[in-house]
Structure 1
Amino acid sequence: MVDVNELLEEAIKEIDNLQENEIFLVRDLFKGYVWNRIPLKDRLLLGTLFLNQINKTGGNIQAIEKTSSNQQRYEKICK
């Protein structure tokens, strides 16, 4: 069983590996096979939790536009 809070922590840690001004989706923070094993309902919840975490902490990640498939895009900015 997948724990969404653990996945959120993994995603937050993976941000350190991104370069400045890099644009990404939450799914980009996971290896493809790991992302594909996460049930859809948990992926949706993870996306919501990630956005809330980014908005709450206000760090060096900024939410930008959504894709045509309604996925939220983010950018790592320098601060």
Structure 2
Amino acid sequence: MDDVAALLDSAIKETQSLRRGEVFLVRDLFKGYLWNRISRGDRLLIGSLFLSYVSSHDCGVLAIEKGVSGQQRYKRI
């Protein structure tokens, strides 16, 4: 769980690098090879925790519709 918490913290910090209005997926907040090294279960957990975080904090990120692949999309506001 420590690894997941660290990865979640990293994702949250990375949102500050996005431009206002930019739409993204959680996986976009990680380098491709790093995201691929995370187990599927942990990726799902990170996604759930990220959605919970942005829904309950004023962090400049808004959850928008899910994409065609079923992944939650977000927008930097």
TM-score, with structure 1 as normaliser:
0.93
- 1:43 matched to 2:59? The reply is no
- Partner deviation per Cα, 1:14-65 (whole Å, 9 max, x = no partner): 0111000000000000000000000000000000000000011032100000
Moved more, 37-46 or 50-59: 50-59
Report % sequence identity. Answer: 55
Secondary structure in 2 aligned to 1:73? strand
Q: Which runs of 5+ in 1 are unaligned?
A: none
Look up the match of 1:6.
Answer: 6
Determine the C-alpha separation between the residues in 1 that align with 2:19 and 2:49: 22
Amino acid at match of 2:53: Q
Q: 1:3: how far off?
A: 1.0
Determine the C-alpha separation between the residues in 2 that align with 1:2 and 1:36: 18
TM-score, with structure 2 as normaliser:
0.95
Look up the match of 1:26.
Answer: 26
Determine the C-alpha separation between the residues in 1 that align with 2:2 and 2:25: 20
Look up the match of 1:55.
Answer: 55
Q: How many residues align?
A: 77
Look up the match of 2:66.
Answer: 66
Determine the C-alpha separation between the residues in 2 that align with 1:12 and 1:47: 11
Determine the C-alpha separation between the residues in 2 that align with 1:67 and 1:36: 20
**What's the Cα RMSD here?**
1.4
Q: Which runs of 5+ in 2 are unaligned?
A: none
